[in-house]
Chains A and B, each alone.
Chain A
């Protein structure tokens, strides 16, 4: 039984969500290969070849793959899947976009957001915003899974896998790439950050959000997150949304500022190691999951915190 892991990267750097997906795949199979797709991704492929436990790295390059068009990516992976019993994909927005296509093309179920591999055919996944955990068993010959990477440890470095080029199938005409608007920031990515400072509706405006949350994040070397209410109101970009329908994070330290703690928000951060809540309402549900709470107005609490941090 062999498994194929799809690498997660930004074109230049391999994300450690790849290492975590390798860990999930190694629980299924001792023969784990990694596919890196994109354009100009040789350095990413080299990084993948150094993950301990990886047998072989496959590299597929084309301009269309760089745009991450689901149809093209899924066609490539579905073709490669003949050689594998399992395909494991990090559950990023990109992975969620193409993974179900591979399952449908192979006529198998998608095992989405897997948080535990019990054995080769049994998996645990959260449902209902993480308020219930479902243990499912499949008898299907091929397994296609997306992996909730916060639930797995990163595979170590120290491998020396071979790197092989594969050709991508011809692309389809139905989809046209028009444009892209990426948020650039010098801060760590939400998925990789050890500390996250998240702001909620309480901040009241984009200016206030930037003036309060950003300096604290910079002081701590943290990534910035937000509640849906803050994103909907335009205080923060969509990519910052933490929660059931945004990003799922599990940093060492999560600081929620002016966030009430709706179940949809908790679903995205309750596995953080240490949670701090700063909220002026002592009854806010966020306190029910917080290790440390400050019942305070952020307008005084954050400047005080900046001072206390020195």
Chain B
């Protein structure tokens, strides 16, 4: 069984986000970039399926600038076997990402696609569902547990009010939630090995997909700031303040 894992290069989750003063976007110059945390979970899950003998090959794919190679190498370090970088400096919207991934899926013919539920920059939570629609493969989003057997993935999902378990026929698209697994740390030998694994570079044109943005970003601004209030001496003073604020 072959698994395709899309991985996105994003601003590291620990980095403080700075909005550019000309309101054109977020400042990404000279800041730490990392693999989207949900995608790390996706690569880890694929790797565990391979270690269990369920999967035989894991292909990581990223759409982004030349530096997204590093993101793919991170995936190869965790356990992916080879990588595909679709290199572009353009901002690619979720629908266009989904179209590119569909084209990759059509040539790679994976049995399963495991990806993040949400990229922590765009926060769209959209690409997996769009890809599932375009491929006409079943989807199971927000996975906190995945069991693959008899041509089906049984996926426990984090939904409003609790958990839901669905069985999806393969090939299918699964998106990861935080509690699916805890990704392993990269060991030095694995980093060395990853650098020797195959990594192909492609262009958007190779897939014949139109990635022209549909949305025009008029501006990116800072949200209204909340200022720190007062520290109080004790619970009685807290209750008094809450009563006068009208919330108790």
Asked whether B52 is an interface residue with its Cβ less than 8 Å from the other chain, the reply is no
Of the residues A109, A122, A264, A292, contact of B218 by C-beta under 8 Å = A122
Return chain A residues, CB-CB under 8 Å to B229.
275, 290-293
Q: Which of B123-131, B183-191, B192-200, B201-209 contacts A (4 or more CB under 8 A)?
A: B123-131
Nearest 4 pairs between A and B by C-beta? A174-B138, A291-B229, A100-B129, A131-B17
What is the 8 Å Cβ interface bit string for chain A, positions 280-305, against chain B (1 contact, 0 not)?
00100001111111111000010011
Other A-B pairs, 11, CB within 8 Å; known A176-B167, A290-B228, A293-B232 = A68-B164, A96-B141, A97-B142, A110-B126, A128-B120, A133-B220, A176-B166, A177-B164, A245-B177, A275-B229, A304-B234
Instruction: Assess the B235–A136 pair: CB atoms within 8 A.
Output: no
Instruction: Assess the A109–B93 pair: CB atoms within 8 A.
Output: yes
Instruction: Assess the A174–B165 pair: CB atoms within 8 A.
Output: no
Of the residues B94, B121, B158, B241, contact of A127 by C-beta under 8 Å = B121
Shortest CB-to-CB span from B136 to chain A, Å, is 8
Instruction: Assess the A132–B26 pair: CB atoms within 8 A.
Output: yes
What is the 8 Å Cβ interface bit string for chain B, positions 210-223, against chain A (1 contact, 0 not)?
00001111111111
Assembled-state Cα–Cα distance A231/B178 (Å):
10
List 19 A-B pairs, Cβ < 8 Å: A10-B161, A92-B160, A110-B130, A128-B121, A131-B19, A132-B26, A137-B218, A139-B216, A175-B169, A180-B164, A232-B178, A239-B158, A239-B161, A244-B123, A252-B247, A253-B248, A296-B234, A308-B236, A309-B248
Instruction: Assess the A135–B219 pair: CB atoms within 8 A.
Output: yes
In the complex with contacts A97-B142, A103-B126, A183-B162, A274-B11 CB distance below 8 A = no
Of the residues B19, B120, B219, B242, contact of A276 by C-beta under 8 Å = B242
Nearest chain A residue, comparing its CB with the CB of B131: A104
In the complex with contacts A101-B130, A174-B138, A307-B235, A183-B161 CB distance below 8 A = yes
Instruction: Assess the B228–A238 pair: CB atoms within 8 A.
Output: no
Asked whether A98 is an interface residue with its Cβ less than 8 Å from the other chain, the reply is yes
Of the residues A93, A129, A136, A294, contact of B238 by C-beta under 8 Å = A294
* Contact residues on B (Cβ < 8 Å of other chain), bracket: 35 or more
Shortest CB-to-CB span from B160 to chain A, Å, is 5
Shortest CB-to-CB span from A234 to chain B, Å, is 10
Return chain B residues, CB-CB under 8 Å to A68.
159, 164
Question: What does DSSP make chain A's interface, helix, strand, loop or mixed?
Answer: mixed
Q: Which of A36-44, A47-55, A69-77, A161-169 contacts B (4 or more CB under 8 A)?
A: A69-77
Interface residues of B in 120-162 (CB under 8 A from A): 120-134, 137-142, 144, 152, 154, 158-162
Return chain B residues, CB-CB under 8 Å to A111.
215
A-side interface residues, number (CB < 8 Å): 90
Asked whether A83 is an interface residue with its Cβ less than 8 Å from the other chain, the reply is no
Asked whether A207 is an interface residue with its Cβ less than 8 Å from the other chain, the reply is no
Nearest chain B residue, comparing its CB with the CB of A182: B162
Asked whether B118 is an interface residue with its Cβ less than 8 Å from the other chain, the reply is yes
Instruction: Assess the B223–A131 pair: CB atoms within 8 A.
Output: yes
Assembled-state Cα–Cα distance A174/B131 (Å):
15
Asked whether B66 is an interface residue with its Cβ less than 8 Å from the other chain, the reply is no
